[in-house]
Amino acid sequence: MPAIDAVGEFETIQRLFKPLAHPEWARGLADDVAALPSRPGCDLILTKDALVEGVHFLPEDPLDTLAQKLLRVNLSDIAAKGAVPFGYLLACHWSERCGWPEREAFVAGLRRDQALFDIYLLGGDTVSTPGPLS
């Protein structure tokens, strides 16, 4: 079986994930967002981008700026839809190199952008991994 990189991200989405998607809200998975009707004339816009060490950032990149990059790639998807962000969900996969000082630096970056964009953490998940930070 070929690795996912050999198959391609967009082909994987089209062949495997699109049949699982909600016919209206997922927008055909042709976009980085989902749009759920929340009240007449308004949609709730949802998005989730991930960043993986060695793919989207270098191991030596400062974790405070990494946190800001993580928020901003998602906020840009929301802005592209003309929506106003109010919060975010966060999934952290901490590698073995991430002790308390690294995690505190990451949170400092989140804190700065939360204040800048007037958003709040709404929930998520955090786990340790022997693999790369993501």
Please report, for the domain that includes residue 84, its CATH number: 3.30.1330.10
Residue 103 domain flag = yes
The pTM for the full model equals 0.81
* Count of the separate structural domains present in the chain: 1
Residue span of the structural domain in which 102 resides: 45-128
Residue 68 domain flag = yes
pLDDT-derived band at 2, boundaries 50, 70, 90 = very low
Residue 111 domain flag = yes
The per-residue b/e assignment along 36-74, b for 16 or more CB within 10 angstroms, e otherwise, is eeeeeeeeebbbeeebebeeebeeeeebbebbbbbbeeb
Residue 94 domain flag = yes
pLDDT-derived band at 92, boundaries 50, 70, 90 = very high
Amino acid in the structure at residue 99: G
Q: What is the mean pLDDT of residues 116-127?
A: 92
Residue 39 domain flag = no
Residue 87 domain flag = yes
Query: Quick one: pLDDT at residue 51?
Result: 95
Query: Quick one: pLDDT at residue 127?
Result: 92
Residue predicted with more confidence, 110 or 7: 110
